[in-house]
Structure 1
Amino acid sequence: MAILTVSYQSGALNKQVTYRAIIPETKRRGEGKTIPSLELYPTLYLLHGYTGDQNDWLEYSLIREFAERYEIAVIMPAGENSFYFDPPIGPRYSTFIGKELVEKTRALFPLSHKREDTLLAGFSMGGYGALLNGILHADTFGFVGSFSGVVLSASPDVNEGVVKIPIPILQMLVESGEWKDLPPRLDLLHLLEDTENRKKPPELFLSVGTEDYLYRENNYLHTYLEKENLSHYYFEGPGEHDWLFWNQVLPKFLNWYETSKS
């Protein structure tokens, strides 16, 4: 297993970007000696949370162990505090995650190009980014996971009486600063209601700890998906908004992927 740091000049972000990569080194035997496998690996693009960076998953999770166990490549980009969407002006993080990064990593590493072998997941802000870009780039990502994800929506059912948006990058986009004016292109419920997005959606995995401060909105999203008959897997269990819970959920997500794929 190789753990790498890669930097390149991003066209989508118009700057130098860095990502971490875990690439399996599975061996196969042939003619009495061990030689590198020529297979193309399934790939998990793994997103960090607010104030985090490309190193978080390697520093705080068991991703090395899981990558080796499941023989899956893992790509961990830096997302800043972007929420992984394309603003009207500035760095286009949705384009970066859903298109450019996939193309760059597939050109550099032995990664499968198949939709069913391409996964996108993240925690907190990264959970929102995974759901958003899994919907917007459904032709690329076959399996999408949100671990304690932020649920951005103009719906009062999600925001439960909270009027003002507390997130700086969203405050700059919404002149009123109120949830009710959140652009539809960033609203998860609006995107899920779009009939075009329902034609070939990715398989969805949602999870949240019952003591997490984001529990209510994640549980609401699960209830909404059930009501709309939108296929998904939902897990909730004891846990807070922390790495203890995300380390518990990560292998559940990968087990779900292997079971669903087969």
Structure 2
Amino acid sequence: MALLQANIYSNVLEIEVMVDIILPQQTKKTFGTDTVGQTTDVPVLYLLHGMHGNHSVWQRRTSIERYVNDLGIAVIMPSTDLAWYTNTTYGMEYWTFIAQELPEICHELFPQLTTKREKTFAAGLSMGGYGALKLGLCYPERFQAIASLSGAIALVEMMEQFEEIPKRAYWEGIFGPLSEVRGSQNDPIHLIKEVDAKQAPDFFVCVGTEDPLYVANQYAVSVMNEKGLNVVYEEGPGEHDWAFWDQWIQRVLQWLPL
């Protein structure tokens, strides 16, 4: 595998954005494992970070590069700050960047990446699980499979658990008036109810049984099942932390139709 650290310019955001990319590379080693390179139609996984993370966090907190070593898949890990994969009220269009511009840039720079739906996937943890689910529900024609690890996939319901929203100005800077998030394009439950189940991608949802988002994830999966979406739900011991995510990203990679 090859690991590239790219500094790309986003016309949408009007800033430089960091992206880590893992690409298949043919290698022949005296010791260790040889890997098989691929120069055309390479499957792609967009792997999204959570709050407090950036483009490097999956690399630093898990062994993602080692886990995909023999899978022949490219992994795109962008930095999207604390913007919740959303076009913010303060004018930074992070949703447009992640959903439209980033794939265009990646295909321009790495023409070996696939353009086929059946080989294109997205996954993420926490805030990134929210972003991955949003990608699959808003662009079902582009993604075959979506995975959420401890995702904030019942965002409105999560917010309603608080007696008082912490850092309210921050949240309203992202989403606008919080009373208007329910039923909007930033509400995952609304998107689940609106998507065409026959056109939707496959979904994998996992969460730790000690995670504060445990109940919210169960609720979101129940709505997905009611909608008739193809969703695999799994849980296990764990909290909202990297010990859980490092273990379960391996399960996600096993689940992907590679």
Contact conserved, 2:19 with 2:78, CA < 8 A, in 1? yes
Which letter does structure 1 place at the counterpart of 2:243? L
Q: Note the alpha carbon deviations across 1:199-233, whole angstroms, 9 max, x for none.
A: 51121111100011111101111122222222211
1:40-119 alignment runs, 5 A limit = 40-109=41-110, 110-119=112-121
Specify every segment of 5 or more residues in structure 2 that has no aligned partner in the other structure, as ranges: 29-35
Q: What is the aligned length?
A: 248
1:98 touches 1:140 (CA, 8 Å); kept in 2? no
Contact 1:165 1:171 (8 Å CA) reproduced = no
Unaligned runs of 5+ in 1: 29-34
Please state whether the residue corresponding to 1:185 is helix, strand or coil: coil
Find the counterpart in structure 1 of residue 33 from structure 2: none
CA contact (8 A) 1:27 1:37 kept: no
Q: Shift in Å at residue 137 of structure 1? A: 2.1
Separation (CA, whole Å) in 1 of partners of 2:235 and 2:75: 24
Cα deviation, residue 98, structure 1? 1.4
Residue by residue over 1:213-260, the C-alpha shift from the partner in whole angstroms, topping out at 9 and shown as x without a partner, is 1111011111222222222111101111111111111121111112xx
Contact 2:8 2:19 in 1 (8 A): no
Counterpart AA for 1:113 = T
Amino acid at match of 1:227: E
1:124-147 CA distances to partner (integer Å, 9 max, x unpaired)? 111111111221122222211110
Rounded Cα–Cα distance in structure 1 between residues aligned with 2:126 and 2:206: 11
* Inter-partner Cα distance in structure 1 for 2:159 and 2:5: 38
Q: Residues 194 and 165 of structure 1: is their aligned pair in 2 closer, same or farther, counting only changes over 3 Å?
A: farther
| 1:232 to 1:181, Cα distance in 2 relative to 1, 3 A | same
Greater CA drift, 122-131 or 38-47: 38-47
| TM-score, normalised with respect to structure 2 | 0.87
2:95 counterpart SS class: helix
Contact 1:147–1:249 at 8 Å: present in 2 too? yes
Instruction: Verify the 8 A CA contact 2:24 2:38 in the aligned structure 1.
Output: no
Corresponding position of 2:130: 128
Conserved? CA contact 1:209–1:238, under 8 Å = yes
CA contact 2:24–2:37 (8 Å) conserved in 1: no
In 2, Cα distance between equivalents of 1:73 and 1:2: 9
Q: CA deviation digits over 1:93-112, x for unaligned, max 9?
A: 11111111111111212111
Cα distance between partner residues in 1 of 2:215 and 2:238 = 14
Q: Which stretch shows the higher mean deviation, 45-54 or 64-73?
A: 64-73
**Whole-Å separation in 1 of the counterparts to 2:37 and 2:185:** 44
Cα distance per residue 1:81-103 (max 9 Å; x no partner):
01001234522111111111111
- Could you tell me which amino acid in structure 2 is paired with residue 55 of structure 1? S
Whether the aligned pair in 2 keeps the contact of 1:43 and 1:73 (CA below 8 Å) is: yes
Q: How does 1:98-247 map onto structure 2 within 5 Å? A: 98-109=99-110, 110-155=112-157, 161-162=161-162, 164-166=164-166, 168-172=169-173, 173-175=175-177, 178=178, 180-182=179-181, 184-195=184-195, 197-247=196-246
CA distance change for structure 1 residues 132 and 164 in 2, over 3 Å: closer, same or farther?
Answer: farther
Alpha-carbon offset, residue 40 of structure 1: 2.3
> How much is the aligned-residue C-alpha RMSD, in angstroms?
2.3
Give the alignment of 1:27-42 within 5 angstroms.
37-42=38-43
The one-letter code of the counterpart of 2:84 is F
> Contact 1:152–1:186 at 8 Å: present in 2 too?
no
Match of 2:26 in 1: 26
Q: 1:19 Cα deviation (Å)? A: 0.4
